[in-house]
Amino acid sequence: MAITPQDASTRAREICQLAPIVPVLVVHDVAHARPLAEALVAGGLPALEVTLRTPAALDVVAEMAKVKGGVVGAGTLITPEDVTRAVAAGAQFGVSPGATDTLLDAAEAAGLPMLPGAATASEAMRLLDRGYDMLKFFPAEASGGAPALKAIGAPLPQISFCPTGGVSPDNADSYLSLPNVVCAGGSWVAPAKLVEAGDWDAIRDLARAASQLPR
């Protein structure tokens, strides 16, 4: 069922409000999918972004979608084909590094709520003009970090963001304290070494700490 940009943003905002951090996950082995998702959800981070950067990514989305309490999305959506494959795998939302009309047309037609990326005021205004007011600020640190996002928020208070890209435990507070930030995307809650080692308890503990960040 098709979705309007306004409804897509409303749903994306609801997902972003679930926790202060959305884990950004690069998973190479589908066997890690369910225990990783279970650890993150148990730690208080239910919204999960699986990036489509590995051959296993779509299978990972499908496995994580079975985890109770999780809301699984597909990241790095760039083409309409990405949208089709993400929806077929069970993704409940999509994330893109930027935005094109072709991509957003496909997502809206497929009924997939999107978190489209913007790095400048002009990009954010263009998305707002289409009806999107919940955006990804990417690449966050490379685009000026929290000061830049604060500056964008002054003339565009009606737009909210999920900054992603270079967000870490050291700077997450600077983003989450901004009035135009709902959550932030971060990869530190699922470091590759812990995933490869299957240390789900350690990942759960990282997730729990991230879930308690103030915003």
- Kindly list the catalytic residues: 49, 136
For the chain, strand residue ranges (E) read: 21-25, 47-51, 71-75, 93-95, 114-115, 117-118, 134-137, 160-163, 184-186
Is the dihedral angle over the CA atoms 116, 120, 126, 129 positive or is it negative? Answer: positive
Q: Are 40 and 186 in contact (CB under 8 A)?
A: no
CA distance 26 to 51: 6
List strands edge to edge, sheet with 134-137: 117-118, 134-137, 160-163
CA distance 24 to 2: 26
Please name every residue paired with 137 in a beta bridge, in sequence order, or none if there are none.
Answer: 118, 163
Strands 47-51 and 21-25: parallel
C-alpha triplet 198, 23, 119: angle, nearest 5°: 145
Reference 7, options 125, 132, 95, 101; nearest CA is: 132
Provide the residue type at 185 as one letter: G
